[in-house]
């Protein structure tokens, strides 16, 4: 049986960012939040990453693409790394996120309808009368 290989970090932050599709700034941010383990450092202090880190960054990026928040991503990462996890926990997080997305979509739909109604009431000409501004002024206090 071959000996287990230990991954040697060999990518700088720019290379890890490029391979994962995440900016170097976000790599540092995810590291500061604890989503990504602290990078190994060269003697001169440069961060070094391995393929495992790139894989984690891709996981984080895909989670962000789906709209998960940082707390949810942290929980999903822990579950992803736990081979004894219950898929029910992952499904719960996903369905809670779906419910949150549905709520936000409903709120945005209501905003869109209100703005469309207000815009249709506005003449959009040289006159100073503007139902859009009137509405904003009434709800501003």
| pLDDT, tens digit (0-9, with 9 covering 90-100), for 90-118 | 999 999 999 999 999 999 999 999 999 99
Q: How far is CA 119 from the centre of its chain?
A: 33
Please tell me the predicted confidence (pLDDT) of residue 3: 52
Please tell me the predicted confidence (pLDDT) of residue 95: 98
Burial of 18 (0-12, 13-18, 19+ CB in 10 A): middle
Please tell me the predicted confidence (pLDDT) of residue 79: 96
Please tell me the predicted confidence (pLDDT) of residue 5: 53
pTM of the model: 0.79
Cα separation, 128 vs 106, in Å, equals 32
Cα separation, 66 vs 95, in Å, equals 12
| pLDDT, tens digit (0-9, with 9 covering 90-100), for 60-81 | 999 999 999 999 999 999 999 9
| pLDDT, tens digit (0-9, with 9 covering 90-100), for 80-94 | 999 999 999 999 999
Please tell me the predicted confidence (pLDDT) of residue 117: 93
pLDDT at residue 140 greater than cutoff 70: no
Cα separation, 106 vs 115, in Å, equals 14
């Amino acid at each position: 049986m071959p000996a287990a290989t230990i991954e040697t970090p060999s990518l700088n932050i720019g290379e890890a960012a490029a391979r994962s599709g995440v900016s170097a700034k976000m790599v540092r941010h995810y590291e500061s939040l604890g989503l990504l383990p602290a990078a190994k450092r060269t003697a001169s202090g440069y961060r070094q990453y391995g393929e495992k880190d790139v894989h984690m960054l891709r996981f984080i990026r895909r989670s962000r693409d789906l709209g998960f928040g940082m707390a949810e991503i942290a929980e999903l990462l822990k579950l992803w790394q736990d081979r004894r996890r219950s898929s029910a926990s992952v499904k719960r997080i996903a369905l809670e996120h779906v419910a949150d997305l549905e709520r936000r979509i409903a709120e945005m739909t209501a905003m869109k309808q209100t703005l469309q109604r207000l815009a249709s009431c506005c003449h959009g000409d040289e006159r100073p009368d503007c139902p859009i501004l009137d509405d904003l002024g009434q709800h501003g206090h």
